[in-house]
Structure 1
């Protein structure tokens, strides 16, 4: 313990018995845990009952730290009393006031009439004490005033006869009255309010043209020790009522970062829809939709036996819907992100430099076209060295029982078209008006579209790499691979020409690198302090020879239409059933401009320019691809620009133009702007598009802000999306109002959302969205 000179003098002037008295004081204070205190003066009581310390008193121990003008220790009742400008830090809280006391034996604090806070709450109590019950810190107050506004005169506050605070968990109020200024606005005899985000009661009123006016109500609370449950009860003026609950598990939130996705989510939501026939798109056929509509979702990862020591886990992803339009009507954000959710169960085992999995994909929603895997077993090995030979290996092996099923309504539509056309062909009078060639083509197309392939497939592919650096500057990586695919028990599609096919591949990746430093280049306005230019030209050759499966065979893992170039490495090619002969050379140059910033190297500008030359094109019989350009510019922390383009500089029948750009900048500290543009012209399969979008958030003043999002299609002069929001900070509350118009080319969807949220109780999210479930969750 430390004492300044004046304290030592005061001690020396006392009687000889003061030594024993002082030892007793030290023993009492030691119960607080290694105390260290200072004061300008210390006087021992003549009757030996304690001491008074005054003048800049400060004590720090393992359990408490405090400041006060004067402190009195009453050793008879083990009480440490603080007076004058008292500040006490204990159990993670700071208490301020004029008087307080601590029992040195029980370590309980009496902070009556002091002020304190437990984020996000600030409070003052007529009687306050802190104690520990079953290793849980609890704060109890009486005649308390609470607010979320850090102000001596809050615009909104609560008054409660008795309050129990469980820090970082919940607050329990008894006889609670809420005040706006000095005016009481509501009363509750009991309220348990959690402190975490998404907990407690929230409500969102709004309007959408297909839902009418709505009021979304949610109450979140804990479920056991590791789960959060959010109850929902919603009203839609044009559709009826909805109810449900979400459960989120956070059992393993404190484990290593790579295993923090050991989680559980369960969602159930049911709507009694009074108008299920209400359309968002004018062409929809909703005649079969029932009034009872629902969603059931379960996403769960379970480590066996637990994430701390296990390399085995089970992934569960189940999504059952009442109909294909449920997400579009009630969860449009999720519909945009994943309009046809999968149903997959998988068991995964991490092995040395690889992964072994057993997965099952099953059909839970018959209104979606789905491929099932009952099951599929796969072993994937990442690139790894082969002893000390300088060679590397990568490969994969899988076996699956696969089937593809059409959506029920789509199959019915196609069969109806086929039957109607066949009936016309069989009728001599109607057949006379048909073009035989066009009729055969249409019937062949319908027959192909009705294929529902089903087969067992064994596939294995393995590749060897030999990377070398020549003369310390030229990188060369030759590779060779071989694979085999076998199809058995084929039905629902014509048999493949080769039920067992061999795949062989050769490749060569080459690159070199040049760099130069420009020490004299300085452009502070663009964030440049010296420049290093790195140029990396490269050329990659890929040759694949695969036995043909025939034009009639319909695979399941096949190519989908895309504007992007295909991967050249067979190990990255997931469309196994579309794998065919190719011979391609990809040539390009990678540029980087680097500068110094904050004692580190920053990629100021990066550019990748390349194209494919086809010796043998597996898809469209091209000689050259488009010229691809990928560019990213990060000149300043508040400016970012991106360009992703492909241009038909070489000519050809399948050439097209695509340019995607995006610019994000904050010219002033109160304005954030993002502008994006997408141009697609002359693609052989996709429609032309010339689309621009604008996002803006502006803080008009300390209390006002506005935001907007607009998307405009120049190709047909359609303003597709308009979203506008205004935000008002009301000190204790945040008010927000948003409106939207969605042009679906035939039917417009209108939406309104209003939000009035008490700051931090719960938190507010802005800018708001017309979607009743912004961000896909609520």
Structure 2
């Protein structure tokens, strides 16, 4: 008998229907062994697959969605029995069912075959990889694909979940009654989110009602309704507090709410002891299956601090409104809308300094373009919405570009542009309709496999409906020239052991352009952009690019440095002079260190400019960063401005980070900017305290955030990146 059983077991193993662990007791009722196995398989199918039509899995209460219907199932238990009259199979003691990386376990299981129902009780647990759901009891209906987990608690990275019950609907959606979520792994978590009810749409979004945020056992915030996608996103609440000398002690509170998968909004308020209370609404949209992506940001405050509004052009009604939206209309057509409004030039500096330091002049435009294989068509409307800047309005501008292409295998390349627009320079500047047509022909040749020459000729005609002297005017202009480029290299032995050899690559480019004086000079025409500045040119441009590469024993090549020199020489009316000189240097002598330098010198009297930015930087990723640099700016608008800039960031283990940045202005012999910060890991929370001192105000800021939801303001301040990643130049130009 034992031999027959052994043979039968081997046949089952070869067939792949089941595998039995040696330590597990087999079902003694031969007639129902296969039925029991199939039913247990069905339990796994129920846990593993959503109902027809449902999508994906969950991120916080995810189904065991990798279980395969065809993979072998291992099961074990102390005893199994079958009642042939009732069709009930009962398993007792250390019930364990395993398939791949998934496991279902409990103390007892009762399976009703006629009703296709099963109950598993006592230390019930379903696990896959690092995801675990436990409970006191589970009831499953295989026919309807519905079930309930009682006294449920679960783990799905990074969430810990507890609930009175978790119910799975036939539609594949989940209902959680009296649930709590936290990312804190302590027995008594530092925080948790308590919800009266939670609806989960697998793979899409979660909707919670009567949601309260607890710090320990103390409720600190209540949300009547909260909705968010299951992908990682922003925290439910964003909070910032501090004190700033020109607006007073302040607190900012934002409430992130996902109205649906494609639209999320953030209503937010700010209270300032000197400036009053303001409010705004931000949002993100993703429409038409991702073909339309946009965001909007707004804030309004009636500033009660007269010290902020007594400056000319600053009204007490202050704020901003920004809209950015990009729509992929078809494969070739794209629309882009940008609206940027600021009440005054000092608003961002006062209320949103972090954005002010990165923001350029406000621009508002609508652009629709089509990009084809050989052409680009664009239509633009551009408006000036703010009265404290100068801008050129385009009402509208239609531009057609024929991209450079070869003409019938002749070796001759042709390109053309036509730009027609009605332009208005605000405030109080000229306005005119303008049509600009330009055509260019070139004939590239290659000599000796290392020298490229491109002779070219270009001509353009421009029409103006209004000029300072006439109602309409035509301007004719043409130019010709030659572009040459070559490259050469040399390999040297390496003086350092980490490289087997060094390679120096040089790529020089020389371009000569001659343009006779056009029939209408720039001072005779309205000025809107570079098209109107076309004038006589007799110019030689020289660019020399140098690269130094190091080769390691494993064949990997690293760039150790680069130096780019660009010089423009003008030959004008017998007066030869160096017009523009640019330098760009990057040296990485060691793995974690670099020296970077940029300079621009324009020697022409009407455009005199001297700019220099240099920085020496040393970084150990996620541990240490130090830099020291200099900024120099000397222009007709900003004469002699020189500042030393230095900063340091240091991580003290995983719990602490500190840093500072200072700028010393040599013109006033004082610091123009200082910032000191301390970051602390508070287990599942994080805190950032910042002290910032600048000419306009002094700010003390405190940010408190849940680590599971990274906050941009904290990451941008405390992250220590490798060289070459997010390392800005210390410059304003």
Q: What TM-score results when the alignment is normalised by the length of structure 1?
A: 0.76
Match of 2:190 among 152, 155, 171: 155
Residue of structure 1 aligned with 2:513, choices 533, 542, 546 = 542
The superposition leaves residues 24-83 of structure 1 with CA deviations (integer Å, 9 ceiling, x where unpaired) of 64784685461530236796524243364988944338xx93254777461435326376
CA drift of 1:659 comes to 3.1
Query: Structure 1 residue 736: deviation in Å?
Result: 2.0
Q: How do 1:316-465 and structure 2 match up within 5 A?
A: 316-338=337-359, 340-406=361-427, 452-465=429-442
Higher mean alpha-carbon deviation, 468-477 vs 116-125, is at: 116-125
- C-alpha separation in 2, matches of 1:554 and 1:271: 43
Per-residue deviation at 1:753?
1.1
Residue number in structure 2 paired with 1:729: 681
Matches of 1:158 and 1:656, distance apart in 2: 57
User: CA–CA distance in 1 between the matches of 2:656 and 2:34?
Assistant: 66
Which residue number in structure 2 is paired with residue 240 of structure 1? 276
Provide closer, same or farther for how the CA distance between residues 81 and 608 of structure 1 changes in structure 2, counting only shifts above 3 A.
same
* Structure 2 partner of 1:603: 559
Whether the aligned pair in 1 keeps the contact of 2:466 and 2:473 (CA below 8 Å) is no
Q: Evaluate the alpha carbon distance shift between residue 39 and residue 479 of structure 1 in structure 2; reply closer, same or farther with a 3 A threshold.
A: same
By how many angstroms is 1:397 displaced?
0.9
Change in Cα spacing, 1:546 to 1:170, as seen in structure 2 (3 Å) is farther
Task: Choose from 194, 201, 214 the match for 1:178.
Answer: 214
Residues 147-182 of structure 1 deviation map (CA, whole Å, 9 limit, x = unaligned):
2213344333455665555566345254857352xx
What's the CA shift for 1:457? 1.1
Q: Is 1:79 paired with 2:118? A: yes
Q: What residue number does 2:469 align with? A: 494
Shift of 1:246: 1.7
Evaluate the alpha carbon distance shift between residue 617 and residue 386 of structure 1 in structure 2; reply closer, same or farther with a 3 A threshold. Answer: farther
Q: What is the rounded CA distance, in whole Å, between the counterparts of 2:335 and 2:408 in structure 1?
A: 32
CA contact (8 A) 1:533 1:594 kept: yes
Q: TM-score, normalised by structure 2?
A: 0.80
Inter-CA distance 189–199: structure 2 relative to 1 (3 Å threshold): closer
Q: Deviations over 1:398-418 (max 9, x none)?
A: 1111121226xxxxxxxxxxx
Gaps of 5+ in 1: 256-261, 408-451, 559-574
Do the aligned residues in 2 keep the contact of 1:163 with 1:174 (CA within 8 Å)? Answer: no
- Counterpart position of 1:759: 707
Q: 1:131 to 1:22 in 2, by over 3 A?
A: closer
Matching residue within 452, 457, 473 for 1:475 = 452
Out of 490, 497, 503, the residue aligned to residue 516 of structure 1 is 490
Asked if residue 146 in structure 1 is aligned to residue 181 in structure 2, the reply is: yes
Shift of 1:385: 3.0
Aligned 1:555-574 pairs, distance under 5 A = 555-558=526-529
The 2-side partners of 1:668 and 1:115 are apart by: 38
Structure possessing the higher relative contact order (Cα contacts under 8 Å, 6 or more residues apart): 1
Q: CA RMSD in A?
A: 4.0
TM superposition shift of 1:103: 4.2
Relative distance call for 1:54 and 1:641 in structure 2 (3 A) is: farther
Q: CA deviation at 1:656?
A: 7.0
| Contact 2:78–2:95 (Cα < 8 Å) also in 1 | no
Kindly indicate whether the alpha-carbon contact (under 8 Å) linking 2:27 and 2:80 is maintained by their aligned counterparts in 1: no
| Secondary structure class of the residue paired with 2:385 | coil
* 2:321 equivalent in structure 1: 296
Alignment of 1:216-235 (within 5 A): 216-235=252-271
Q: Does 1:673 align with 2:622?
A: no
The 2-side partners of 1:89 and 1:296 are apart by: 47
**Structure 1 residues 474, 55: closer, same or farther in 2, change over 3 A?**
farther
The answer to whether 1:88 aligns with 2:127 is yes
User: What's the offset of the Cα at 1:313?
Assistant: 2.9
Please give the alpha-carbon distance, in whole angstroms, between the structure 1 residues aligned to 2:667 and 2:29.
97
Q: How far apart in 1 are the matches of 2:150 and 2:547?
A: 64
2:592 alignment partner in structure 1? 638
Question: Residues 651, 89 of structure 1: CA spacing in aligned structure 2 closer, same or farther, 3 A cutoff?
Answer: closer
Please give the alpha-carbon distance, in whole angstroms, between the structure 1 residues aligned to 2:211 and 2:298. Answer: 34
TM-aligned CA distance change 1:199 to 1:731, over 3 Å? closer
Question: Is the contact made by 2:226 and 2:258 (CA closer than 8 Å) also made in structure 1?
Answer: no
User: Is contact 1:697–1:708 with CA below 8 Å preserved after alignment?
Assistant: yes
Task: Look up the SS of the partner of 1:624 in the other structure.
Answer: strand
Alpha-carbon distance in 2 for matches of 1:271, 1:151: 42
Moved more, 361-370 or 759-768: 759-768
Structure 2 CA distance for aligned equivalents of residues 345 and 9 of structure 1? 71
Distance 1:386 1:477 in 2: 15
Question: Where does residue 422 of structure 1 map in the other structure?
Answer: none
Alpha-carbon contact 1:56-1:68 (below 8 Å) kept: yes
Larger mean CA deviation between 638-647 and 595-604 belongs to 595-604
Identify unmatched segments of 5+ residues in structure 2. Answer: 1-15, 47-67, 719-727, 729-733
| Cα drift, residue 536 of structure 1 | 2.1
How far residue 140 of structure 1 moved from its aligned partner, in angstroms, is: 1.3
* 1:211 corresponding residue in structure 2: 247
Paired position in structure 2 for 1:419: none
